C-alpha cells in the first residue's frame, strides 16, 4: 500500500531540501509551512500551512498519514517563551494529533545540541547521557523523552534524529565532525519511511565523517548507511579561518555551547 507522508517545517532549511526531493521520488507527500502559504511546486501538490499549536491544523496535516517527518519548530537558540511555544507545546500537539489520526511513525528532528556540552575529545554512543547546551538543546532532550513516552504509552513509533550540521557542504572545521550531507539526509529519510517496525529509536543524523564524534551502533535496524564524508573538504576548510572561540572549539555544540557560558576561559589546550 502507498504510504502517505507528512512533512512539517517544509519552508525551513531542511524542508526546502527534502520537499522537492521527495516529490521527485514520487512520495505521496503533504507539506506544511508555518505562517506563510507554500506555493505548490507541482500541479495539485498537497500543501497547507498553519500553527501546529492548533489541534485543527495538526489534524489537517495528519489525516490519513502513515509517517510524519516533523521538522517544524524553533531550530536555534531563542528566548525561552518562544522555545516553550514552538518546541514543547507544539510537539505535544503534534503527538496528540498523531494519536488521534493513527499516525504510525514520527521522525522527530532532534539535534546535536541535546548533547552539546560534551567536550569534542569525547566519542559518544547513542545511549550517552544528555548534556544540552541551551534552551534549544534542552527542548530537544525534552522532545526525545516525549517521543519515548508516546511509544511506551500509545505505541507511536519515533525515530529521534540528532541532527549534526545539515548543509550542502561543510564550511568550517567543526563541520568535519558534524556534517550531515544532503544525499545522506535523503537516504536517511528514505530509510525512516521504509524501515520495518523500529519502536523508539535515537540515531545520529551525521554523514560518514572520518572525524565524527558520534557512533551509530545500535541503530542498525534503520538501515542507514551514510556515504558522504566531510574529510573530502578538509584541506580547503583547514586552510581557512575557524569562526569559533576557545569555548566553542572545546564543546561539541560549538557556538551554541559558548553562547551562555560563564565558567571562565577554557585553557589554550582546549581542556
Nearer to ligand 15L, 31 or 255 (CB): 255
Query: Min. distance of Cβ 34 from ligand 15L in angstroms?
Result: 15
**Dihedrals phi, psi of 159, to nearest 5 degrees:** -110, 110
Within residues 172-191, the interface with ligand 15L by CB under 6 A covers: 178
Within residues 137-176, the interface with ligand 15L by CB under 6 A covers: 163, 165
Which residues are tagged catalytic?
A: 136
Query: Min. distance of Cβ 84 from ligand 15L in angstroms?
Result: 17
Nearer to ligand 15L, 152 or 183 (CB): 183
Query: Min. distance of Cβ 114 from ligand 15L in angstroms?
Result: 9
Give Cβ neighbours of residue 181 (< 8 Å, ≥ 6 apart): 167, 168, 169, 207, 226, 228, 230
In the numeric block, which cell numbers belong to residue 175?
563541520
Q: Is 252 in the site for ligand 15L (CB under 6 A)?
A: no
Strand 105-111 and strand 67-70: the pairing is parallel
- Please state, in angstroms and rounded to a whole number, the distance separating the CA atoms of residues 93 and 171: 36
Contacts 24+ apart (CB under 8 A), 125-129: 125/215, 125/217, 125/218, 126/202, 126/203, 126/204, 126/215, 126/216, 126/217, 126/218, 126/219, 127/218
Query: Min. distance of Cβ 29 from ligand 15L in angstroms?
Result: 22
SS3 content of the chain, % helix, strand, coil (to 5): 40, 20, 45
Within residues 73-102, the interface with ligand 15L by CB under 6 A covers: 75-76
Per CB under 6 A, the segment of 106-114, 121-129, 152-160, 182-190 that binds ligand 15L is 106-114
Total binding residues toward ligand 15L, as defined by CB under 6 A: 8
Query: Min. distance of Cβ 164 from ligand 15L in angstroms?
Result: 6
Among 8, 86, 87, 111, binds ligand 15L (CB under 6 A): 111
Nearer to ligand 15L, 112 or 207 (CB): 112
Nearer to ligand 15L, 4 or 113 (CB): 113
- Please state, in angstroms and rounded to a whole number, the distance separating the CA atoms of residues 252 and 48: 36
Nearest to 165 by CA among 72, 254, 257: 254
Q: Where on the chain is the footprint of ligand 15L (CB under 6 A)?
A: 75-76, 111-113, 163, 165, 178
Amino acid at each position: 500500500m502507498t504510504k502517505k507522508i507528512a512533512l512539517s517545517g517544509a519552508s525551513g532549511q531542511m524542508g526546502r531540501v527534502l520537499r522537492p526531493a521527495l516529490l521527485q521520488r514520487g512520495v505521496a507527500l503533504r507539506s506544511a509551512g508555518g505562517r506563510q502559504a507554500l506555493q505548490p511546486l507541482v500541479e495539485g501538490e498537497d500543501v497547507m500551512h498553519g500553527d501546529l499549536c492548533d489541534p485543527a491544523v495538526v489534524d489537517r496535516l495528519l489525516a490519513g498519514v502513515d509517517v510524519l517527518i516533523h521538522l517544524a519548530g524553533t531550530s536555534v537558540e531563542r528566548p525561552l517563551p518562544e522555545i516553550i511555544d514552538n518546541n514543547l507545546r507544539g510537539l505535544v500537539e503534534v503527538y496528540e494529533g498523531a494519536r488521534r489520526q493513527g499516525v504510525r511513525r514520527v521522525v522527530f528532528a532532534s539535534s546535536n545540541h541535546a548533547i552539546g556540552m560534551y567536550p569534542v575529545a569525547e566519542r559518544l554512543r547513542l545511549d550517552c547521557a544528555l548534556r544540552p547546551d541551551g534552551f534549544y538543546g534542552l527542548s530537544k532532550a525534552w522532545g526525545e523523552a516525549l517521543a519515548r513516552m508516546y511509544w511506551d504509552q500509545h505505541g507511536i513509533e519515533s525515530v529521534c534524529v540528532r541532527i549534526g550540521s545539515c548543509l550542502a557542504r561543510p564550511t568550517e572545521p567543526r563541520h568535519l565532525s558534524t556534517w550531515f550531507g544532503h544525499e545522506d539526509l535523503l537516504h536517511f529519510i528514505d530509510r525512516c519511511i521504509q524501515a520495518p517496525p523500529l519502536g523508539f529509536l535515537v540515531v545520529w543524523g551525521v554523514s560518514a565523517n572520518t572525524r565524527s564524534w558520534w557512533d551509530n551502533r545500535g541503530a542498525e535496524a534503520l538501515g542507514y548507511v551514510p556515504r558522504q564524508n566531510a574529510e573530502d573538504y578538509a584541506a580547503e576548510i583547514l586552510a581557512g579561518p575557524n569562526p569559533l572561540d576557545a569555548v566553542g572549539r572545546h564543546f561539541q555544540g560549538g557556538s551554541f555551547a559558548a553562547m551562555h557560558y560563564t565558567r571562565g576561559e577554557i585553557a589554550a589546550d582546549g581542556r
